[in-house]
């Protein structure tokens, strides 16, 4: 006795299934990593958000909005190796956080060959400053705020000369990175970092959109469309260079 073979899904049903699967993947990316992938005439753009507190070796307080370095680091590595991704847009609104984790992420961004653009929205404080300048082009909206202050550490600290030496060396690493990846001078950056009288009961400076550009910390004042246009230009230029090499 034979059994009739079940009818396969129609092509329309398969397409709907693929669309639902793709939509589900994008939604899951937004939930898990705060990232999205969009196809454009210039190429596929990956948008990654770095928000809240940069969470490093220690878990942040319960209820705090965080960006986890163990998620971002392998994602950046995968993006750099993915030929389908033409460029990466970083949206920043961070209060800072773990210095080592934030600097590690910034170094990965700076080391990418792919076109990259950062856009500061709201704020990019403390270790968020290196993250903002790490991309090949940096933008800040007019209302964006960037807080620059000396390295500090919470929790138990061993009161020894070596501890203060460690602070100095860690701070020097941050200063050198920012100076290398922006147009601000070391003298000016240290001046802003150690400024007194601007922040209540604290040392440092707060720069807003145009101020950050004026001192050379950020490249341009602009919004989302400006940042995307820059990213498209980088992608088109990279394509043209590749075509020229192949000739």
Check: CB of residue 74 under 8 Å from CB of residue 63. Answer: no
Q: Which run of H or of E encompasses 218?
A: none
Is 46 known to be catalytic?
A: no
Helix, strand, coil content of the chain in percent (nearest 5): 45, 25, 30
Helix 186-193 / helix 161-180 crossing angle, nearest 10 deg: 130
Is 149 known to be catalytic?
A: yes
| 118 torsion bin: left (phi>0), alpha (psi -120 to 50), beta (else) | beta
CA dist list (Å): 48 to 37, 62, 150, 162: 9, 23, 27, 38
Q: Which of 124, 126, 138, 205 is catalytic?
A: 126
Q: Distance between CA 83 and CA 78 in Å, rounded?
A: 10
Q: Which of 42, 149, 182, 205 is catalytic?
A: 149
| 34 torsion bin: left (phi>0), alpha (psi -120 to 50), beta (else) | left
Check: CB of residue 175 under 8 Å from CB of residue 150. Answer: no
Catalytic residues: 126, 149
């Amino acid at each position: 006795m034979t059994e009739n073979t079940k009818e396969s899904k129609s092509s329309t049903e398969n397409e709907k299934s693929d669309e639902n699967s793709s939509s589900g993947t994008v939604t899951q990316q937004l939930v898990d990593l705060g990232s999205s992938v969009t196809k454009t005439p210039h190429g596929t753009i990956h948008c990654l958000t770095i928000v809240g507190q940069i969470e490093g070796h220690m878990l942040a307080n319960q209820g705090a909005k965080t960006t986890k370095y163990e998620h971002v680091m392998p994602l950046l590595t995968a993006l750099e190796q993915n030929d389908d991704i033409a460029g990466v847009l970083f949206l920043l609104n961070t209060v800072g956080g773990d210095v080592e984790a934030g600097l590690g992420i910034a170094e990965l961004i700076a080391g990418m060959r792919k076109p990259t653009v950062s856009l500061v929205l709201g704020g990019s404080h403390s270790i968020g400053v290196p993250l903002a300048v790490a991309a090949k082009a940096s933008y800040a909206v007019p209302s964006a705020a960037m807080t620059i202050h000396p390295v500090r550490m919470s929790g138990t600290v061993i009161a020894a000369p070596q501890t203060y030496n460690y602070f100095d060396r860690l701070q020097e690493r941050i200063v050198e990175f920012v100076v290398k990846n922006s147009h601000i001078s070391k003298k000016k950056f240290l001046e802003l970092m150690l400024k007194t009288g601007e922040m209540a009961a604290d040392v440092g400076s707060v720069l807003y959109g145009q101020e950050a550009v004026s001192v050379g910390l950020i490249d341009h004042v602009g919004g989302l469309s400006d940042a995307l246009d820059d990213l498209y230009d980088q992608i088109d230029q990279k394509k043209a260079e590749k075509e020229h090499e192949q000739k």
